[in-house]
Amino acid sequence: MKVSLVVNGAAREVDLDHSEAQIAQAEPGVYSILVDGRSYEARIEQGDGCMVVFIDGHRFEIEVRDPRRWSRKTGQQGAEGRVSVAAPMPGKIVRLLASAGDTVTVGQGLLVVEAMKMQNEIKAPKAGRVVSLPARDGATVAAGEVLATIE
Amino acid sequence: MFRKVLIANRGEIAVRVVRTLREMEIATVAVFSDADRTSLHVRMADEAEWVGPSPSTESYLRIDRILDAARKHRADAIHPGYGFLSENPDFAAACEDAGIVFIGPSAESIRRMGSKTAARHMALAAGVPVVPGAQDALGSVEEARAFGARHGYPLLLKAVAGGGGKGMRRVDADSELESAFRDAASEAERAFRNPDLYVEKLIERPRHIEIQILGDRHGNMIHFGERECSIQRRHQKVMEECPSPLVAVRPGMREAMGEAAIRVARSAGYYNAGTVEFLVDAAGDFHFLEMNTRLQVEHPITELVTGHDLVRLQVEVAAGEKLRLRQEDIAWRGSAIECRIYAEDPYNNFFPSPGRITRLTRPLGPGVRIDGCVYDGWTVPIDYDPLLAKLAVWSGTRASAIARTLRALREYDVAGIRTNITFFRQILEDEQFRQGSLHTRFVDEFLDRRKPFAPPPELESIAALVAAFHDNGRAAPTETGPARRSRWLEIGRDGMLR
């Protein structure tokens, strides 16, 4: 059975039926792989719309392209159109550096989120107009929560 | 000796202190905030008391609540750990007033070392070299200008009440002085409610080397040699080693620094454990920087190399015992390296990464020690410092300690959150690190020159294969190839057991 994948942004195809590798699940989400007498271990986590595979400290973001399923995440908009900025970690908003209606440049600070005693500036991923900035000063945000939208 | 000790801290250091107290057959009392009800220090201690909501200002920094807990549980003494109240002279004094022993120096020693300018005075009076600079707070920018004219640039403006790089500015020329002075003073005002600045000659690319000392309350004091702490990011240490690769090859340097550290500590009437920090310039000359009046985060590497339990010694001298060790009893054997494992994402600008630990595999085997507070299923709170654990590794030589640390890091696996484990592997593979040419700008320069942490080509194929297998196993479990044979064997075995 052939499987189409996108590995760290590059398309690949894997033939599960004609692989020399022996794969066995050692623990939930942890696989032991033997190839040509060499032993590897891989751990799989569910990422944001993809799988994340870790082998020896290396990280691979992998998306399975299965024509039989419609489970693919709607592709994220590129630098065109609207881009939303999500919180990279849970934390507290300590400062707003922009507001809705502002025109911002790439890399300009939008707001500051504090987590674990460290303040982190969240920057604009593209130039444009801030369409919305629902974040409020002092509010607690969850990871992945939309902090701002830029058009 | 004490019957019961309260630990006024959380996280890995609270766990560390509980371990030694248990070995000494002393009962332990943990304190905890809302966020820490199921944290490891609470689970491990004999007794535990809630001291407030999650923010540390309402719990771990509340002197009244900590002392109430100590009284309620009838603790004879309090170990403050590091951070939180450990260097607060009012807390040490309040313990004393409550008739509870503070396991640390006197309130007076903490107060005298807390002011950077007062500490410099003491070092100078003790005949210990300091970084050339002003003796007192600057009255005006003109005084800084006069200093620059006399000693040359670059110079460093620093906050008198400072720490952690706040209120600090490098000044490369006379023309930059005025705005740097204004910025540093307002930053110091905001951070410490004290805008006072002083000025030092800037030492380019210094090493940060510190001396561990310990004294009893009978006037005896010894040192346990140095730790090299030059590997820092944002003025925070991330990796330390003992011995320092520089001190190890310079005859007499350890003795000279050790004696200087003891002279400074004695001039403050110091007892218990403390650390005297020095900057070492390119010529190898050392200059007093400051004294930390508590146990350091990185104390395990000194314990590994000298074979002594510093927490046990702290407890013994706090109980009034005389130091049985003399300077000639302290010997240094082999080499130790510590990596501070943080919940942060090295692939995403080192952003903090709190969350739930979904799986944890810790390294084991020869020469490996972990001081941690993490367990499988624990949620790392967002309220505190992101230090998860300290991996400290010992081996006979520096080269073999590097190899062993790399081995241990490859065994270390934390799932569910991101950690900086791979970042340490990259540093340990770096040629300049291996040569021991370290300085406090090392990490910044390393981040600029490092090659991407690229996987060997075959790993990508294996990752793709595993992902397809995993996805296929979830989507359509059918037997079609050798890859899945083992799954069916497992199912067969299960069937026989039924």
Is CATH 3.30.470.20 the classification given to domain B207-449? Answer: yes
Closest CA to B276 of B286, B268, B288: B288
Domain match, A60 and A102 both: no
A90 contacts B354? CB cut-off 8 A? yes
Domain match, A7 and A42 both: yes
Model pLDDT, residue B482: 42
Domain match, A45 and A93 both: no
Domain match, A101 and A60 both: no
Closest CA to A122 of A150, A97, A151, A90: A97
Q: Output DSSP code: residue B436.
A: T
Residues of chain B with pLDDT > 90, as a percent, come to 81
- Is the residue at A41 inside a domain? yes
Closest CA to A21 of B476, B493, B481, B477: B481
B61, B466, B470, B488, best to mutate vs chain A, most A CBs in 10 Å? B466
Task: Name every chain B residue with its beta carbon within 8 A of the beta carbon of A141.
Answer: none
Domain match, A61 and A29 both: yes
Separation in Å, CA B462 to CA A44, A45, A92: 12, 16, 39
Model pLDDT, residue B107: 98
Range(s) of the domain holding residue A58 = 2-65
User: Omega of the bond prior to B243 within 30 degrees of 0, cis?
Assistant: yes
How many A-B residue pairs are in contact by the CB < 8 A criterion? Answer: 155
- Is the residue at A75 inside a domain? no
- Is the residue at A71 inside a domain? no
pLDDT tens, residue by residue, B44-61: 999 999 999 999 999 999
Contact between B386 and A116 (Cβ < 8 Å): yes
pLDDT tens, residue by residue, B356-397: 999 999 999 999 999 999 999 999 998 998 899 999 999 999
Whole-angstrom distance, CA of residue B19 vs CA of residue B287: 36
pLDDT tens, residue by residue, B202-238: 999 999 999 999 999 999 999 999 999 999 998 899 9
Query: Among the ranges A80-89, A106-115, B137-146, B433-442, which has the highest mean pLDDT value?
Result: B433-442
B382 contacts A116? CB cut-off 8 A? yes
B354 contacts A21? CB cut-off 8 A? no
Model pLDDT, residue B457: 84
Give the distance from residue B341's alpha carbon to the nearest chain A alpha carbon, in angstroms. Answer: 14
Environment class of A110 (CB within 10 Å of its CB; exposed 0-12, middle 13-18, buried 19+):
buried
Mean pLDDT within B10-23? 98
Domain final residue pick, A16, A36, A65? A65
Residue of A nearest to B478 (CA): A1
Separation in Å, CA B230 to CA B237, B353, B430, B447: 7, 25, 15, 15
Which residues of B participate in catalysis according to the annotation?
294
Model pLDDT, residue B164: 67
Give the distance from residue A99's alpha carbon to the nearest chain B alpha carbon, in angstroms. Answer: 23
Model pLDDT, residue B475: 53
Model pLDDT, residue A76: 42
CATH code, A146: 2.40.50.100
Residues in chain A with pLDDT values less than 50:
70-79
Task: Dump strand ranges (E) for B133-220.
Answer: 155-159, 169-171, 197-201, 207-215
Give the distance from residue A128's alpha carbon to the nearest chain B alpha carbon, in angstroms. Answer: 23
Separation in Å, CA B247 to CA B26, B258, B263, B456: 38, 11, 19, 37
Task: Name every chain B residue with its beta carbon within 8 A of the beta carbon of A33.
Answer: 462, 465-466
Give the distance from residue A140's alpha carbon to the nearest chain B alpha carbon, in angstroms. Answer: 11
Instruction: Indicate the pLDDT class of residue B348, thresholds 50, 70 and 90.
Output: confident
Taking all residues of chain A, what is their mean pLDDT, rounded to a whole number?
82
Model pLDDT, residue A77: 41
Exposure pattern of B25-37 as b/e (b: 16+ CB <10 Å)?
ebbbbbbbbebbe
Structural domain count of chain A:
2
Residue ranges, comma separated, of all CATH 3.40.50.20 domains in chain B are 4-103
**Nearest CB to A59 within list B347, B354, B469:** B347
**Nearest CB to A56 within list B359, B415, B459:** B459
A91 contacts B382? CB cut-off 8 A? yes
Q: Give the residues across from A6 on adjacent strands.
A: A11, A63
What is the radius of gyration, based on Cα positions, of chain A? 20
ipTM of the complex: 0.76
Give the distance from residue B414's alpha carbon to the nearest chain A alpha carbon, in angstroms. Answer: 10
Domain match, A52 and A105 both: no
- Is the residue at A70 inside a domain? no
B60, B458, B462, best to mutate vs chain A, most A CBs in 10 Å? B462
Domain match, A13 and A53 both: yes
Domain match, A87 and A142 both: yes
A25 contacts B462? CB cut-off 8 A? no
Domain match, A92 and A141 both: yes
- Is the residue at A42 inside a domain? yes
**Nearest CB to A56 within list B355, B410, B487:** B410
Residue of B nearest to A59 (CA): B455
Does the pLDDT value for residue B486 go beyond 50? Answer: no
Residue ranges, comma separated, of all CATH 3.30.470.20 domains in chain B are 207-449
Model pLDDT, residue B18: 98
Does the pLDDT value for residue B484 go beyond 80? Answer: no
Model pLDDT, residue A90: 78
Which are the contacts of A91, defined by CB distance < 8 A and separation ≥ 6? Answer: A113, A114, A115, A116, A120, A140, A141, B352, B382
**Nearest CB to B466 within list A8, A33, A66:** A33
Sequence letter at residue B169? R
pLDDT tens, residue by residue, B26-41: 999 999 999 999 999 9
Is CATH 3.60.15.10 the classification given to domain B132-201? Answer: no
Model pLDDT, residue B432: 96
Q: Which two tokens stand for residue A138?
A: 């002092």
Task: Name every chain A residue with its beta carbon within 8 A of the beta carbon of B385.
Answer: 116-117
Whole-angstrom distance, CA of residue B291 vs CA of residue B271: 13
What CATH architecture does domain B4-103 belong to? Answer: 3-Layer(aba) Sandwich (3.40)
